[in-house]
Amino acid sequence: MIIYGLSTCSLCQRAQKDLENTGKKMTFRDIRADPLSDTELNELIAEFGDNLVDRTTNDYRALNDWLKNSEAEAQIAAKPKVMARPVIRDGDQLYLGWDDAVKSALISG
């Protein structure tokens, strides 16, 4: 299992802690320190589409108009912090966020 996020993201930290407390083995990947490859980003865009960009953040609001009107790939490549987090890969399954449905699928499943 891999968690893609930011080391400073409280939701990413909570997901990591919850999963560790249930004995799940995982790797945490900080997407600022180790950016997603084009292939990885394209896979996530294919799975989540525009939902992969968190448009509620100050980082998104700080993007210039050209980037705001660009595709999600360009936005995330330019400013990784605009990616919605965490993204969790469990085998071939991908999950976005850390809500009750994702918790249930990963902890109970």
CA distance 15 to 90: 13
Every domain of the chain and the residues it spans? 2-108
Per-residue model confidence as pLDDT tens digits over 43-101? 999 999 999 999 999 999 999 999 999 999 999 999 999 999 999 999 999 999 999 99
Give me the pLDDT at residue 109, please: 63
What class, spelled out in words, does domain 2-108 have in CATH?
Answer: alpha beta
Say which DSSP state 35 is in: P
Q: Is 106 exposed, middle or buried (0-12, 13-18, 19+ CB in 10 A)?
A: buried
**Which residues sit opposite 78 in a β-bridge?**
none
Q: Is the pTM of this model over 0.85?
A: yes
Per-residue model confidence as pLDDT tens digits over 22-59? 999 999 999 999 999 999 999 999 999 999 999 999 99
